[in-house]
Chains A and B, each alone.
Chain A
Amino acid sequence: MTSAAFIEIRNLSKAYGSFRALNDVDLDVGRGEFLSILGPSGSGKTTLLMALAGFVRPDRGQISVDGRDLVRLPANKRGIGVVFQNYALFPHMNVAANVMFPLRVRGIGRAEASERARKALDIVDLASMAERDIATLSGGQKQRVALARAVVFEPRLMLMDEPLSALDKNLREQMQYEIRKLHDRLGLTTVYVTHDQREALTMSDRIAVMRDGVIRQLGTPASLYHRPTSRFVAEFLGEANILELDAVDSFVAPEPDVGGPGRKLMIRAERLSLSDASGHDNVSLDGVLTRSVFQGDSWLISVALANGGAVSARIAAAEAANFSLEALTEGAALKLHVRRDAVIAVTDA
């Protein structure tokens, strides 16, 4: 990371009793970046985010934003916009009053506050609902009000903790798009917590994968997906086949330092194919098909390998069409092909 990172988190630790929720976390976020924190339940995502927002007091460590350490600053002095999972809109105020709240708190006059609130509501397409009561809004509308309220005072940083988890699938996908659009439009540095890997892959510039209070890997969605360094990250982000190092004939570890005990091979299910596309450095795996499941756009087949071990392969409908149905029935012997650079060495944890 460059030393000019917008947010610099160093050695951040937080224990609840003997349980370490954050364990010496280091993280840099660039200015204007959309960074997702991804991890299973209890991995410390919320704790990290709330430490940034000022609601969790860490045991030690630095959090600096724009070069200034704010780890001891009270939440209301940090100028950070936060969108909470349940939106936390104030039910005793209408939409406009909610959005005006951060401005009124800053001593901005009613007229100007109202004008700026209107603009913010405009951005989220809710200008017509300014006078509505919170209780009358739908989930998606509440979400937008919460967004408008969090950006109206022009925070230097925006934090969101699983903001879409209360919405149904379609609305969630639409809001993912809109949140990202809002981010691009305002250029607001955003830290976004989710435990939905697809959401993280879709929205982020970079993703930090957390587990047990530690950031296990940090990188762009593509690099994390294709080049996980650990079995955990590989399996968390997608369908991963984990094999012993000797499962692939003539496998040469792509990185010189990888290998030895505690290492495994990882192949993404969709990188395995039935046809041997020429022009690439491919490896092949012999095996017997043990199960095949038709899933509409693809077939998911399980194959017991001749060298031991088993893999699942996702065969796209277009490719599967090239094969007879018999070739995809259980017990059929087959050969799976995979590009050599799609065989990744990972740590076994």
Chain B
Amino acid sequence: MFDGFDVSWPLRLAIGIFTALVAVFLLAPSLIVVPMSFSASELLQFPPSEFSLRWWQQYWQSDLWMPATKTSLLLATVTAAGAVPIAFAAAYATTRSLGWAKLPLYAVLLMPATVPPILVAIGLFFVLARMHLVGSFPGLWLGHTVIAIPTAYVILSAGFARFDFTQEKAARSLGAGWWRSMFSVVIPQMRFSLLSAALLAFLTSLDEVIVSMFVGGGANTTLTKVMFLGLRDRVDPQAAVISTIWIVLVAIVVTVVFGRQRQEHS
């Protein structure tokens, strides 16, 4: 960017150190939990003085963490399964048509991202309490799906903006009905957007704290709720194990998404 200038080396060094420090600040919290999860000590410290697998073992046998993990993974899966088709249909409709209604629809669909999550949480809690759905899986699903809709919608709308709708016309002119052209032409070409949307909806659900706090409970307690309550009371080394699993999961997802972007660019 500054090709026209030569930057003197002290300035270069200063800029380099600053950038490295910010990068460390950004990355450190994600990275230190990995060695911490192998710590042998009760005390939380970094770097750990001794290593062991005790926390991993305890996690595996825990009747608090394991069910919560299962609940969270299941919930994230059905959230993605719900949010993606719903957002796909909405993104298709707003890209193809609905001229004057586009702006209001856009506002409604992005609402879950603009309304503070605490309000979404207590609002849902209030509504679900009336329907006796607090602590239920469908209640959690509703909350998480709604929160995942904006992300999925934005990704899929961007995908549709790049999609050449002449493709759909071509399929139709060749005799394919709406469903046929949808499934053999539109969806196959939108597969990367769909994959990204699904992964990010999955992560959004897995990451969600407040709605899970208010709406989840009992058998339907999510990982985030267990972790949050644990963190508020004391710092639990068990959380390092969960965090490590999470980070590995995200690293895979980010690599997949990045890899596909690189693929698309080349």
A residues near B (Cβ < 8 Å) are 53-55, 74-76, 78-82, 84, 86, 88-92, 101-102, 105-106, 149-150, 153
Contacts and interface: CB of A to CB of B under 8 A. Distances in A.
B169 A75 contact: yes
B177 A90 contact: no
Interface string B152-192: 00000000000010110111111111101100110011000
Nearest to B169: A55
Contact of B175 (A53, A89, A91, A106): A106
Contact of B172 (A76, A81, A149): A76
A150 B178 CA distance: 19
A88 B166 contact: yes
Residue in B173, B177, B178, B189 with the greatest tally of chain A CB atoms within 10 Å: B173
A301 B90 CA distance: 62
Contacts of B174: 76, 81, 101-102, 105, 149-150, 153
Given A105-B175, A105-B180, 13 more contacts: A54-B172, A55-B173, A75-B169, A75-B172, A75-B173, A76-B175, A76-B177, A84-B170, A86-B166, A88-B169, A92-B189, A101-B184, A102-B176
A150 B170 CA distance: 9
A99 to B, nearest CB: 10
Contacts of B173: 53-55, 75-76, 78, 80-82, 150
A106 B173 CA distance: 12
Nearest to A53: B173
Contact of A153 (B169, B172, B175, B185): B175
Contacts of B188: 92
Contacts of B184: 101
Contacts of B176: 76, 101-102, 105
Given A55-B169, A75-B169, A92-B189, A86 B175 contact: no
Contacts of A102: 174-176
Contact of B169 (A84, A90, A92, A149): A84
Closest 5 CB pairs between A and B? A88-B170, A102-B174, A82-B173, A88-B166, A75-B172
Contacts of B180: 105
Contacts of A91: 189
A75 B177 CA distance: 9
Contacts of A76: 172-178, 181
B164 to A, nearest CB: 7
B198 to A, nearest CB: 18
B167 A88 contact: yes
A86 B172 CA distance: 16
Interface in B219-256: none
A86 B164 contact: yes
A149 B167 CA distance: 13
Residue in A76, A79, A81, A84 with the greatest tally of chain B CB atoms within 10 Å: A76
A245 B184 CA distance: 62
A91 B164 CA distance: 11
B171 A101 contact: yes
Contacts of B178: 76
26 contacts: A53-B173, A55-B173, A74-B172, A74-B177, A75-B169, A75-B172, A81-B174, A82-B173, A84-B166, A84-B170, A88-B164, A88-B166, A88-B169, A88-B170, A90-B170, A90-B185, A92-B188, A92-B189, A101-B174, A101-B176, A101-B184, A102-B175, A105-B176, A105-B180, A106-B175, A153-B174
Contacts of A81: 173-174
B175 A90 contact: no
B175 A82 contact: no
A106 B180 CA distance: 11
A82 B185 contact: no
B242 to A, nearest CB: 39
Interface in B53-107: none
A153 B180 CA distance: 17
A252 B112 CA distance: 78
A294 B185 CA distance: 54
A96 to B, nearest CB: 14
A27 B27 CA distance: 69
Nearest to A75: B172
A91 B162 CA distance: 14
Contacts of A54: 172-173
B170 A82 contact: yes
Contacts of A153: 174-175
